Structure 1
Amino acid sequence: MAKLGIQRYTNTLIVLHWLTALCVVVAWFLGEGGRHIRENPPIWHFAFGLAVLVLLVPRLVARLVGGAPPPEPHDAPLLRLAAKVGHATLYAFLIAMPLSGWYAASALGVPVTLWGVTLPALTAPVPQPPGLVAELHSNGGTVLLVLAGLHGLMALYHHFVLKDDTLRRMTPA
């Protein structure tokens, strides 16, 4: 049971956080690459990957309008800086991964659909593999999963070692 007086994230941000995490993990497991992608596009990978981007918009808006509580008051300045850098890096990957995947699919000439709606191509199809962007997307997915894991480990560190309320602030009440 949570302590009284914990400054929590809003319910909206909590739901968006955990839905985003779920979409990232599912998209990673459904990711496929290689030459066969033109003939058999990973539609579910596209759907969950683009859902990350769709969820990010209300998430950023909710944070900007005050949905995030202030940092723990006793956190050391270096820990606060690390949290800011870590969150900024995660957000950058949450934006870059869906966009780079969409771009790579467009370069392959693979239509990208989200819930039955075909999205416009981000680039013209090319006869050769899309190269660097596709490679960055493929490897970036794993990096994003590692970063998310480190994010989770830091939450556990706060909870079990520092014994503060950081983790409780992002768990459902």
Structure 2
Amino acid sequence: MHNHAAGKYTGFAMLLHWLIAVLVIVSWRIAEGAEGAATREARGEIMANHFAIGVVIFAVVAVRLIWRLMNPPPPAPAGHKGWERTLARIVHTAFYVLLLAMPIAGWIAMSSFGNRISVWGLFELPRLPVPINQALGEQIFELHALAGTTLLILIVVHALGALKHTIIDKDGTLFRMLPFGRVRG
């Protein structure tokens, strides 16, 4: 069901958007929490949840991207300036690139350590056919962490943009991705 006349995303797009947001925040907090683990084993158990959530994030983002391609988003409110539309397009593209590339990078890194990825014991991702190379795995994880920091910065930019449009411009941009409220413009 399209609600583009009201300038809103579809209900399914809203669900996927907020599910991805929650999963990313939970995954980030789990990774941060693992840093303070008492033992290497405890850290590994905590990080197993981070890896499993990464698999789920990849799947949900892939569904979101396919949905978006099949159901184009509603046009931005008419009051948005050209640079704002361009920045929004760049941020959204970067979200998709990072949210798909980061789990793949994690899988490659885990594979370079010789490990599979268990998704809470429900199924396992096999080791990719990459050479066992601990140094390479560590470098990939460093890039993964840098990508994560970049993602967090983009989330802040995204949220501030939505709030700026909603509170200062009073165009209801935030409500485009919520089942309540009105979009103006």
Asked if 1:52 is matched to 2:57, the reply is yes
Cα drift, residue 128 of structure 1: 4.0
Aligned equivalent of 1:149, options 143, 147, 156: 156
Q: Which runs of 4+ in 1 moved over 6 A?
A: none
Asked if 1:73 is matched to 2:87, the reply is no
Aligned equivalent of 1:120, options 126, 148, 152: 126
Cα drift, residue 15 of structure 1: 0.4
Q: Deviations over 1:30-81 (max 9, x none)?
A: 1147x947x8352110111111100012101111122511111221111111
Counting matched residue pairs gives: 169
* Equivalent residues of 1:6, 1:165 under 8 A apart: no
Q: TM-score when scaled to structure 1?
A: 0.87
RMSD: 2.3
Relative to 1, partners in 2 of residues 1:127 and 1:91: Cα closer, same or farther, differing over 3 Å? closer
Unaligned stretches of 5+ residues in structure 1 = none
Asked if 1:23 is matched to 2:23, the reply is yes
Q: TM-score when scaled to structure 2?
A: 0.82
Q: Quick check: which one's helix share is greater?
A: 2
Aligned equivalent of 2:170, options 157, 163, 166: 163
Aligned identity (percent) is 34
